[in-house]
Amino acid sequence: MQTEIVLEDCPHCGGDAKFAGLADWPYLSNIVFCPSCLVKGPQAPNYHLAALMWNKRVEAEPVAGDAVAKACPYCAEEVVVEGNNGRGNEPGHEGTLYFTACSSCLGRGPHVPDKDMTVEAWNRRVDG
């Protein structure tokens, strides 16, 4: 029997989150995503774990030192990497090629059209 989990809103824009199916995210399954800004949550072996990881939120202050990106909202990992959505043409978000991702849980930040905007979008956090 499937345990029903209420998904938290997107940590970056406050949008409603949903489970991603193949139509939403052809590369991977078992993630939660935000249709508004294309945030993808941590990758997990199944939807139940993906939901638990998505709902887990940590305080994400700017990392000490010279880093400008905040820690990951899901796992507090401080190392983030720039990604490039090779297709960049998800329905309704054509041209939003770039995002910042967590190197630990592989959670992805909002997709934006300009590479210089990824960290700003990643750092944008809404209050619980």
Residue 31 is a binding residue for Zn ion (CB under 5 A): no
Question: Minimum Å distance from CB 21 to Zn ion?
Answer: 17
What is the secondary structure of 114-128 as a DSSP string?
A: SGGGHHHHHH-----
CA 126 to chain centre: 13
Residue 50 is a binding residue for Zn ion (CB under 5 A): no
Q: How far apart are CA 47 and CA 20, in angstroms?
A: 9
Residue 36 is a binding residue for Zn ion (CB under 5 A): yes
Selected range binding Zn ion among 19-27, 60-68, 96-104, 120-128, rule: CB under 5 A: 96-104
**What's the token pair of residue 85?**
């959505």
Over its C-alpha atoms, the chain yields an Rg (Å, rounded) of: 14
Nearer to Zn ion, 2 or 124 (CB): 124
Binding site for Zn ion (CB under 5 A): 10, 12-13, 15, 34, 36-37, 39, 72, 74-75, 77, 102, 104-105, 107
